[in-house]
Structure 1
Amino acid sequence: MPKPDITPGAPCWIDLMTADPEKAKDFYTRLFGWTYETGDAEKYGGYIMAFKNGAPVAGIMKNDGQSGYPDVWTTYLRVEDIKAAADAATRHGGSIFMGPMEVPEQGQMAMLGDVGGAAIGAWQFGGHTGFQIAAEPGSPAWFELLTRDYESSVNFYRDVFGWETSVMSDTPEFRYTTLGSGDASKAGIMDASAFLPEGVPANWLVYFAVEDADAAVETAVSQGGKLIQPAEDTPFGRMATLADPTGSIFKIAQSTRQG
């Protein structure tokens, strides 16, 4: 398959912050067939790169608990000027959780807060140019912001990351805007004000492609994961929501184009 077309502003990378990297590695290997390489401890803090069929798809790092953040999957958007992106985020009502920093030989990163409070990473390409496969089994397939501040968030991603957006639905029951449109869309923003539980902040959710959603659910649960939302058929494929053994939530999607 061709490499993903990662244009500026689009999701380009994901990583997992977890209290137990070894348990996470075992879980995702059994679920997605991943293999791993661990980076130099001094240069990269022991950052673990996950691969599917030899192509990088995700990262894993230790959550030492000092930040106070729970274990979580993080989505990164590609930017061409990391400092300009951070400045734009604050100018348009967001915040900076971690300012721009150099990752030796790989690129530059920052961790930002959007106008609705969701954490979103920014990545400026260097030697590392993001995931090299997408929407194939065992790789990231979709990226979705769940927010209570729908209109403000849509404007934020337009203003800060240059999104050209398309309204997929604008009914009271389902308000959804995408980056791009149709088959070319690359991410979505959902009005989640009606169903995000109290105390749960706005957040980005990662979907992973699988060959068989029901089999993936069974594997995940058997390996210590938790079923959050059972598999169900949707217009976009059969989907389920899961949590890994330390509580990081993600979704799986079995494409309607498979099988």
Structure 2
Amino acid sequence: MAVSPEGTPCWADAMFGDVEAAKSFYGDVLGWTFGEASSEYGNYTQAYVDGKAVAAVVPPMPGQEGQSAWCLYLASPDAAATAAKVRENGGEVLMEPMQVGEFGTMVLAREPSGAVFGVWQGGTHEGFEASPQQPGAYCWAEVFTREPEKTDTFLSAVFPYRVKELKDDAVDYRMFDVGEDTVLGRMKMGDEFPPEVPSYVNVYFNVADCDEAVEKATKRGGVLRFGPMDSPFGRFAALSDPQGANFSVIDISTTTGEMPQTGDVS
């Protein structure tokens, strides 16, 4: 698998206070299996679908205990250069470029409205191995932000995105393209989000049956936040896992309605 083009989501992981519980939950809901924990790298444990790497879970490092959350990594050919761009454009570098053995180099950053994301310069670990069409695999992501102008300006300055907006008066939504591929969405947070919920990146995992995944998740202690709802992109639902990490599931094979119109943003 080739290294992803700059700005393309290429990996996702999450810290959990109880890694075994997280493995059990996601194994049931998304059909993941797990490799051996890598003690050399903080017991980092990769998740697989049909033998292909799709994500990872890891216990918190000392001092990093807190709310569990999924982190999306965007591909970069030069993590240090991307970190510099983050700073130059009003973002914050939370973790300086750190080489992870021969696997690659990572950065953790926060965009100006507060959403945390990662940057990954691939080495031997290039990122997702399963295609988005495969149930259990990463499929899509959106930045939920209260300050869309800040987020849009920042993302376009740091990564080589072409920006499109959804032609829909009911929603403030933009999409970011790399080449011919749409790789990321941006949604303005409205009053439906409690004020204490900060801006964040929401990751979607593909499932064969949205309703079945929701049923499994809620039976295991997950919380249904939104949906299930039909859309032209698939039937989807937003959830929180039992340790509080937000994520969404989507059945991309079950679509309803026509694709919305989009227009380039000048």
For normalisation by structure 2, the TM-score amounts to: 0.89
Alignment of 1:7-22 (within 5 A): 7-22=5-20
Question: Which residue of the partner structure matches residue 147 of structure 1?
Answer: 145
The separation in 1 between residues aligned to 2:71 and 2:222, in whole angstroms, is 18
> For residues 5-31 of structure 1, what are the alpha-carbon distances to aligned partners after superposition, in whole Å with 9 as ceiling and x for unaligned?
832111000001111100010111111
Cα displacement (A) at 1:69: 3.6
Q: Paired residue for 1:113? A: 110
- Worse-matched range after superposition: 221-230 or 147-156: 221-230
26, 38, 41: which one aligns with 1:40: 38
Q: Which residue of 1 aligns with 2:128?
A: 131
1:56 equivalent to 2:57? Answer no
Seen in structure 2, the aligned counterparts of structure 1 residues 246 and 65 have a Cα distance that, compared at 3 Å, is: farther
Query: Structure 1: which 5+ residue stretches go unaligned?
Result: none
Query: 1:187-202 alignment to 2 at 5 Å?
Result: 187-202=184-199
Q: Is the 8 A contact 1:4 1:132 kept in 2?
A: no
Q: Report deviation, 1:57.
A: 0.3
Deviations 1:80-107 (A, max 9, x none): 1111111111110000111110100100
Q: Secondary structure at the match of 1:188?
A: strand
1:164 deviates by 1.8
Quote the offset at 1:235 in angstroms.
2.3
Asked if 1 retains the 8 angstrom alpha-carbon contact of 2:235 and 2:254, the reply is: no
Q: 1:26 is matched with which residue: 14, 24, 27?
A: 24
CA distance change for structure 1 residues 86 and 106 in 2, over 3 Å: closer, same or farther?
A: same
The TM-score, its normalising length taken from structure 1, stands at 0.92
Shift of 1:246: 1.0
Say which SS state the counterpart of residue 185 (structure 1) adopts: strand
Q: Please list the CA deviations of residues 1-56 of structure 1 after superposition, one character each: whole Å capped at 9, or x if unmatched.
A: xx698321110000011111000101111111111113431x21110000111100
- In the alignment, the residues of structure 1 paired with residue 129 and residue 227 of structure 2 have an alpha-carbon distance, to the nearest angstrom, of 29
Aligned partner letter, 1:14: A
Number of residue pairs matched by the alignment? 254
